[in-house]
Amino acid sequence: MSKILAFTNQKGGVGKTTSTANVGAGLARAGQRVLLVDLDPQANLTKGLGLVEAEQNVYGALLGEYRLKAYPLHENLALVAGSSALSGFEKVKGDELDREFLLKELLEPVRERCDYILLDCPPALGLVTLNAYACAQALYVPLEAQMYAADGLEKVLELVGRVRRRLNPELSVGGIFFTRHDGRKVLRRETAEELRALYPGLVLTSFIRESIALGEAPHLGQDIFTYAPQSAGAADYQALVAEILTR
């Protein structure tokens, strides 16, 4: 039975999609069977991994228009495409009974065929994110170590508490990790230290440095290991994958 990990943060632009793509690719390289699911209406995970014309996507599958379709990307790695129509998911399904469990029901038949399912959540705490939290075992929260970094994190942790009590007692925070990190900057170092003190045991040892290659790879539809395997970004995500595998 696969383990479902959700990459989430209410703040946008923190490297959530980049992390979903590259952690997924790193797990696949380590021999794990990985399914990525693009739940962000911007569908950047789908576009950034080179899937341009996907006839079937997660939104249509959630609506029951067709069965869940996973598009193979590399050995051990497949992707369920995203859709801009996900922005209207709450309006369409908001009054439906058990609406929080639609994603869980959709993923249940494929869980035996995967070791990991990674969910790229939207930067909003709406019904799509609630569906992700209701079926995940662990959340991973990318953060930039800068002012107000903890604001979005607090809201995520509050929602985790409510979801754990009402919908998914198995849900936990797998870890918080820093992206676009530059240890030479005093503010970044101090913020990182403050968050480690605030959330002991939750902040991971691994961090992702600022990297030009990480920004370039999605424009070519590639993960960092395919695009620049010797880069700092590849080394950092390899370390993060290794840490996730031990948790």
**Residue pLDDT, tens place only, 182-229:** 767 766 778 788 888 888 889 999 999 989 999 999 999 999 999 999
What the chain holds in terms of domains, given with CATH numbers, is 3-245 (3.40.50.300)
Is residue 179 within 8 A of residue 142, CB to CB? The reply is yes
**Residue pLDDT, tens place only, 59-108:** 999 999 999 999 999 999 999 999 999 999 999 998 998 999 999 999 99
**Residue pLDDT, tens place only, 106-162:** 999 999 999 999 999 999 889 999 999 999 999 999 998 776 666 778 888 999 999
What mean pLDDT is predicted for residues 232-244?
98
pLDDT above 70: residue 232: yes
pLDDT (0 to 100) of residue 23: 98
Query: What would the two tokens of residue 159 be?
Result: 């929602």
Please give the model's pTM, rounded to 2 decimal places: 0.96
Q: Who's near 26: CB < 8 A, 6+ residues apart?
A: 225, 237, 238, 240, 241
pLDDT above 90: residue 180: no
Query: What would the two tokens of residue 65 be?
Result: 């228009």
Is residue 120 within 8 A of residue 39, CB to CB? The reply is yes
Amino acid in position 213: A
| CA distances in angstroms from 16 to 64, 226, 234, listed in the order given | 27, 19, 16
% residues pLDDT > 70 (the chain): 97
pLDDT (0 to 100) of residue 186: 67
pLDDT (0 to 100) of residue 147: 65
Q: What is the DSSP string of 213-244?
A: HHHHGGGGT--HHHH-TTSHHHHHHHHHHHHH
Is residue 201 within 8 A of residue 214, CB to CB? The reply is no
What's the distance, Cα to Cα, between the start and end of the chain in Å?
16
Which residue is it, tokens 């029901």? Answer: 105
d(CA 2, CA 241): 16
- Count of CB atoms within 10 A of residue 180's CB? 21
d(CA 80, CA 76): 14
**Residue pLDDT, tens place only, 4-51:** 999 999 888 889 999 999 999 999 999 999 999 999 999 999 999 999
Sheet holding 77-80, edge to edge: 71-74, 77-80, 34-38, 116-120, 3-7, 138-143, 172-181, 203-209
